[in-house]
Amino acid sequence: MTEITTTAVLGAGVIGASWTALFAAAGMDVRVFDVSPTAEKDVNAYVANAWPTLLELGLAQEGRKGNISFHASAADAVTSAQFVQENVPEQIELKHKIFAEIEDHLLPQAVVSSSASGLMVREMQEGWKNPGRFILGHPFNPPHLIPLVELLGNEKTEEDALEVAEAFFKAVGKVTIRVRREVPGHVANRLQAALWREAIHLVESGVASVEDVDKAVWAGPGLRWAAMGPHMLFNLGAGPGGMEEFCNRYTPSFHRWWDDLGDTRLSEDLAKDLATGVAEEAGGQSLSDLAEERDALITGMIKANAQVRK
C-alpha cells in the first residue's frame, strides 16, 4: 500500500474534529471541510485540547504534526487526499449530495470512509456513480481516544478498499473489526443498545436507581469488558472446561434471565426520569467536568491495556 500522507475530513463536528486531531497526530496533512463559519476556530481548539491526551497515549509525538488546512468546498478538500473520512449529518440526502460533489475530484485510488452509525452502506452507495472505493469506517466517540473502528463493504466494494482502510486505521492506532453482514447499528452499537435497554428496564421497573445501574456496570462487568470480550471472559469463567463447561453449567440460568429481560420503549416521561437520575448521579458536576473525568479514566485504561498486551 502506498503510504498515506494526505487525508480529508468532511464534516468537522465533534467526530470530524476528533478524526482531524488523530490524523494530524500521525503526521498526516488534513484537509478539512465544514459548512460552519466557525469550523476553523472550533477544530483548532478541539485539536489543541486533545493534543495532551494524544501525547500521553503515544499517538502524537513532539515535533510531529501534520498540517491542518480548511477549504471552502468538499470537492476542494478531497483534492490530493489519499484517504477521506466523511462525517456529515446522518441524513441520506446530505450524504448523497456530498458524494456527488466529491466523486469526480477524488484521486483514483483514494478510499472514502463514512463514520455513519445509523445508515446502511447499500443506502449510501446509491449516491455514487461508482461506489467501489466507498466503505463504512464507523468509530466510537471520540475517535482520537476510543480505538474501535468497524469496517464494512459489500459486493460493490473493490477488493482492496477494505484492506487499504484497515492498514490505514491500524497505522493511526485504531483497532478494527470486519462486519461480515450488514445489519442496522453494525456490531458495537447493537451490543450497547441491548445493555441500555435492560438498564432502562431495571430503572423503569423499580429494580434499581439510575445511579446504581450505572455503578453496577462500571464497578462490575464493565471492568472485565475493558479487558476482554464476553465470549473470552465466559471461556475463563468455568475453569479448565472453558466455554463448553460454562455453557453446560450456566445455560439454565441464562435462559431464565433472558426470558425475564425487558422490552421497554423510551417515552417522554421515561426520558425525563432518566435525565433526573443522571443529574442526581452527577452531583452538580458540569458536563465538561464529567467528560474530562471520563476521558482521563479511558486514557488510563487504554495505557494499562497497551502495557499488558505488549
What confidence tens digit (pLDDT) does each residue in 175-202 have? Answer: 999 999 999 999 999 999 999 999 999 9
- Residue-wise pLDDT tens digits, 129-179: 999 999 999 999 999 999 999 999 999 999 899 999 999 999 999 999 999
Indicate the SS3 state at residue 106.
coil
283, burial (CB in 10 Å: exposed 0-12, middle 13-18, buried 19+)? exposed
Q: How far apart are CA 254 and CA 30, in angstroms?
A: 48
pLDDT at 310 over 80: no
Distance, C-alpha 212 to centroid of its chain = 26
Q: Which three cell numbers stand for residue 96?
A: 448523497
Instruction: Walk me through the domains of the chain, giving residue ranges and CATH numbers.
Output: 6-178 (3.40.50.720), 188-308 (1.10.1040.10)
Question: What are the tens digits of pLDDT across the range 197-222?
Answer: 999 999 999 999 999 999 999 999 99
State residue 2's pLDDT score. Answer: 76
Q: What share of the chain is helix, strand, coil (3-state, %, to 5)?
A: 55, 15, 35
Question: CB–CB of 286/294 below 8 Å?
Answer: no
The half-sphere exposure of 178 on its side-chain side, counting CA atoms within 13 A, is 9
Residue range 6-35: mean pLDDT, rounded: 97
Mean pLDDT, rounded, of the chain: 96
